[in-house]
């Protein structure tokens, strides 16, 4: 009798702790992925050299992901989007993003850095979260750096295993779920399923869109990258 009771208690404890563990895994991240893409909207005056500095990557790497949009690295067109590669990390176990080290320029504000330097890939509030400086007292000193955090996605095995590379895409005025989907040549249903809570009328909000690699292919999801699907098995076993 006692043995059965103890066994039952043990099973209950295992069951409850696995629910707890799995809910932690699902609401937070355990690891990131090597590659994500940032959709950087180029305005007149933007050049590849500063973009590569802000995004901490080589120009040659940017060119690899934009064979059709940047045919010549000496003059980049305006009013186009380019895809800039970056690594997508699990930040403090809480969310997927990348913290760029940005060298402060004179007259910088969080708003200007978000809007112009980082093309709305982040927001003033989201930059401020990761820096100690008061927004009105950013040092006017190019030796100082700021943490600029850009969010990203590594995919979701419960939606599709066919997509493992994602573009962080800031919506621009006039864009809709339909226009974004047709520009990506993907179905609206698929884009919606990766962005269940996104408001496509909300200018500058971020959405995640499956992206193509250097060869123009969609890399499949690597199931080992932070995939919480083992939780189902864990629950059944316990
Ligand atoms: C960022 O957003 C602001 C405000 O909506 C807009 O004026 C600006 O053109 C955007 N920047 C880019 C690079 O899209
Ligand atoms: C980045 O993701 C975090 C966590 O999901 C969210 O709170 C934050 O608002 C996002 N930042 C931007 C600029 O969308
Ligand atoms: C940037 O982040 C690092 C690590 O969290 C922190 O030590 C540093 O103080 C931050 N920089 C600023 C300017 O707040
Ligand atoms: C920046 O750092 C260099 C080398 O550490 C130093 O010589 C220079 O005075 C610094 N500039 C400012 C504006 O603090
Ligand atoms: C768009 O997708 C369809 C089907 O998924 C494919 O047949 C077609 O070649 C694609 N078009 C482009 C321009 O990629
Ligand atoms: C979506 O965003 C637009 C523009 O910011 C706003 O007017 C609208 O109320 C939002 N819709 C929902 C459902 O939150």
- The Å distance, Cα 130 to ligand 3 centre, comes to 7
**CA–CA distance, 231 with 22 (Å, rounded to integer):** 6
| Closest C-alpha to 91, from 123, 126, 118, 115 | 126
Phi, psi torsion values for 195, nearest 5 degrees = -135, 60
Residue of minimum CA distance from atom 10 in ligand 4: 143
The pLDDT assigned to 21 comes to: 52
Q: Are 93 and 63 in contact (CB under 8 A)?
A: no
Whole-number Å distance between alpha carbons of 27 and 8: 29
**Residue 106 confidence (pLDDT):** 87
Q: How far is the CA of 61 from the centre of ligand 3 (A)?
A: 27
- At residue 34, the 3 state secondary structure works out as strand
Residue 120 Cβ inside 6 Å of ligand 2? The answer reads no
10-residue mean pLDDT series, the chain (238 residues): 56 54 61 97 96 97 95 91 98 97 93 97 97 87 91 96 98 97 97 97 96 96 60 49
Instruction: Report d(CA 153, CA 208) in Å as an integer.
Output: 7
pTM given for the model: 0.85
pLDDT at 225: 45
Q: Using the mean position of ligand 1's atoms as its centre, give its distance from the Cα of residue 198 in Å.
A: 18
Ligand 2 pocket residue status of 123, Cβ below 6 Å: yes
- Looking from the CA of residue 114, the nearest atom of ligand 1 is 1
* Distance (Å) from CA 184 to ligand 2 centroid: 23
Do 207 and 195 contact (CB within 8 A), yes or no?
Answer: yes
Q: Is the CB of 126 under 6 A from ligand 2?
A: yes
Q: Which residue is closest in CA terms to ligand 1's atom 10?
A: 115
Residue nearest to atom 12 of ligand 2 (CA): 122
Among protein residues, the one with the nearest Cα to ligand 1's atom 6 is: 115
Q: State in Å: Cα 141 to ligand 4 middle.
A: 8
pLDDT, residue 75, reads 86
Report the atom number in ligand 1 closest to the C-alpha of 170: 14
pLDDT of residue 10: 53
- Closest ligand 4 atom, residue 143 Cα: 1
Residue 12's pLDDT is 58
- Give the count of beta carbons closer than 10 Å to the beta carbon of residue 152: 26
Cα of 185 vs centre of ligand 5, distance in Å, is: 6
């Amino acid at each position: 009798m006692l043995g059965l009771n103890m066994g039952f208690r043990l099973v209950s404890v295992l069951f409850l702790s696995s629910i707890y563990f799995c809910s932690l895994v699902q609401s937070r991240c355990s690891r990131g992925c090597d590659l994500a893409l940032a959709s950087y909207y180029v305005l007149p005056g933007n050049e590849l050299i500063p973009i590569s500095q802000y995004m901490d990557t080589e120009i040659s790497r940017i060119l690899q992901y934009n064979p059709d949009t940047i045919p010549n690295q000496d003059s980049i067109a305006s009013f186009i989007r380019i895809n800039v590669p970056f690594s997508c990390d699990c930040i403090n176990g809480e969310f997927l993003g990348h913290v760029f080290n940005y060298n402060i320029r004179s007259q910088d504000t969080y708003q200007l850095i978000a809007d112009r330097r980082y093309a709305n890939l982040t927001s003033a509030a989201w930059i401020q979260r990761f820096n100690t400086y008061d927004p009105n007292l950013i040092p006017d000193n190019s030796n100082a750096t700021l943490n600029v955090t850009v969010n990203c996605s590594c995919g979701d095995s419960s939606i599709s295993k066919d997509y493992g590379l994602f573009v962080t895409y800031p919506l621009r005025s006039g864009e809709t779920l339909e226009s974004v989907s047709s520009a990506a040549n993907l179905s609206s249903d698929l884009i919606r399923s990766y962005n269940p809570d996104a408001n496509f009328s909300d200018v500058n909000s971020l959405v995640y869109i499956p992206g193509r690699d250097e060869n123009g292919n969609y890399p499949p999801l690597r199931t080992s990258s932070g995939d919480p699907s083992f939780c189902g098995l864990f629950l059944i076993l316990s």
